[in-house]
Amino acid sequence: MLIEMQPLLTLIDFQSAFLTVPGLEPSVGQVVDRAASLLRGCRELRIPVAHIRTATPSGLEVPRLKAGSGSKPQLGSAGYQPPEELVESTGEHVIHKTGYSGLRDTDFDNLLQQSEVDTLIVTGVYLHACVRQTVLDARTAGFQVWVAQDAVASDDPVHAAMTRHHLEGRGVRFAPVARLLKWLDDGASPSGPPEQLAIVDEAVSRATQFARKWRVSERGTRIDLVRTLVDRLNMSKARLARLITDELGKPICFAGSEVQRTGEMLSVIIGHFETQRDTTESRDTTLRRRPLGTIAVITPFNNAVYLALGKIIPAIIHGNTVVWKPAPEALAVSRFVMDLLNESKWPQGLVSILEGDASVGQTLMDDPRIDSITVTGSSSAGFSAQVAAARRRVPLQAELGGNNAAIIWHDATIATAAEQIAAGAFEMAGQRCTANRRAIVHQDILGPFLDRLTEATRALFTGSPTHPDTRVGPLVNSDRQQCVARMVSRAKPYASACFVPHDEFPTDDRNDNDRWYPPTILCCDDPTLEIVQEE
C-alpha cells in the first residue's frame, strides 16, 4: 500500500572533522558518493533539504565526548567544511548544533514545526551517535523516518549494526538510496508492516516445522538425496553454466569450471559423510553429533552455485533444514538450483529460498527461530551477522570481503609474477574473494615489473563472456561498474601513475557496454587511500 508523504532530506555531520576519522565504514568516498546521489535526486524532485552540522562558535572550545577526539569543529574552520559534492545550494537550510541531535536546535525544530514535513529522509555520520539521536528525537516528535542504509557511516561498525536493530525496533525504516529515490519520484511511501516480514516468516516457519521430522531421518536417506542432486547437476552442466554467464556476465570458461567443481565437491562431501558416524565412543568419552535446527544461509553472486551448495549440503546431511537467501544479482541461477532440488525429490521445507535485497537477509538473521547463521559477503554484512548471532548466542560462520596483496621481492621471476598477478587481479573482472587487489613491489624491480604486468594484462583475452577464450568479461551490473569508475576517479589525483592496457572496450554482442570497466593499474604509495584499503 502507498500513502502520500511530505519529505525533508536531512544530511547530518558531513564535515571534514568527522569524515577524516580512521576506520570509517563504508569508506569516505563511498558514503559521500551515495549521499551526493541522494542529494541530487532530491534536488531534481524539489524536495526540501536541511544540512545539519556540528559547529562551535569562533573562540570557544567544546570537547567531543569520545576520549582523545579533540574539540568539535569551529564555525568556518577546515574541520567544519563539507565535501564539495555536499555543499548547500541556495534555499537549502543549514542548521548548526553543538550536541548529538539536530532536533534539539531551535532553528531546526522551528523549521519542522512551521513546514508541512511529516517524513525525514536521513543520511550522515555517525549512525551510532548523531544520526541515531536525531532519528530518535524525530520519532519522538511524531515524524516518519527513513534512513539511507548505504549512505550512513560509522567508525564503530559493530555499534552501528546494533544501532540499526535498535532503531528498526522503534519504527525507523532503512532502505538503499536507489529505492528511496524511486519512492520519492513516485511521491509515495510504503505503509504497514513490511512485506518481507511475512515472506521471511513463511519460509522460516516451513523450515522449522520440517526440522522436527528431518532431524530424526536416517543419514543414508540424506546422502541419497544429495547423490540424486549430483546426478541432476551433472546432466545440467551446460545449461547452468550458460545461465551463469547470461545473468552474471561470468566468462563461460569460469562458469563451466564452477559447475564442474561443484559436482566434484559434492561427491567429496558424500564420501566424507558416508564414513562418519553420529556417535563415536572411546574408553573415556562419547562424542555425539546432533542437528542445530534451522540454518540461515546467505550467499553472494560471484560463485552463486558452488558457495551455496557448499553450505547447504553439509547442513542438510547433518540433519538441519535451511533457509537460503541468495544474492539478488543471481536470482535466475538460484531459481535453477532450486529447480534441481525439486527435480531430485527433495521434500518441501528442507531448503526454502528467500528472494530480496540485504534487508531480507537481515530480517532472516534476526529471526529468533534461526539456530545458526552462515554468510559469505562483505565486511558490513559480517558486522550485521555478528550482532544478530551474538544477540541470540547462536553459531556464526562468516567468510567476508578480502583485500589480498601479492608481494614481489627483488629476486622474483618477474615475468611469472606479472602473469600470475594479472590473471589473479583481472580474470572474472576481479569479482572473486581471492583476487589480487594490491601488489607490493620491491623498489629495485618496480619499473621492469610494471612493464611486464602491463603486457600480461594486455594479453588477457577480453571480450564477450560467451566466448570460450574470454578471461576478462563485464562486471555484474552497471551499478558496480559505476562504483568502480568513481573509486578510480577519486584515486587518480593521488596516484603517481595509471595504466590502462586495454584502451578500447571489447566488441560484445550482448549489449554489456554499461557493465564494462577496463583493467586498470594504479601506482599508489599511500596505503591509507580508499582504493588501497577497499576490496
Cell of 505: 572496450
CA angle 495, 500, 505 (to 5 degrees): 140
Residue with cell 547433518: 318
| d(C-alpha 534, C-alpha 403), whole Å | 7
Which of 92, 343, 399, 534 does the annotation list as catalytic?
Answer: 399
Q: In terms of C-beta density within 10 A (0-12 exposed, 13-18 middle, 19 or more buried), how is residue 116 classed?
A: exposed
For 10, the grid coordinates are 536531512
Contact (Cβ atoms closer than 8 angstroms) between residue 291 and residue 318 = yes
Strand partners, 353: 324
Measured at the CA of 375, the angle between CA 389 and CA 351, to 5 degrees, comes to 95
Contact 396, 373 (CB under 8 A): yes
- CA 294/CA 210 separation, integer angstroms: 9
In DSSP notation, 391-406 reads HHT--EEEEE---EEE
Q: Has 433 been annotated as catalytic? A: yes
Please tell me what DSSP assigns to residue 525.
-
Residue of 151, 161, 142, 80 whose CA lies nearest to 121: 151
Q: Minimal CA–CA distance to 35: which of 125, 119, 138?
A: 125
* CA atoms lying within 13 Å on the CB side of residue 304: 27
| Cis-peptide, bond into residue 501, ω within 30° of zero | no
For residue 526, what is its C-alpha cell? Answer: 599511500
Catalytic residue, candidates 433, 455, 530, 534? 433
Task: Report which of 7, 34, 8 is spatially closest to residue 125, judged by C-alpha positions.
Answer: 34
Q: Which three cell numbers stand for residue 28?
A: 569516505
Q: Are 307 and 383 in contact (CB under 8 A)?
A: no
CA distance 339 to 359: 25
Concerning whether 530 is annotated as a catalytic residue, the answer is no
Pairing label, strands 521-523, 497-499 = antiparallel
In order of 12, 127, 363, the CA distances from 147 in angstroms are 11, 9, 16
Residues known to be catalytic: 399, 433
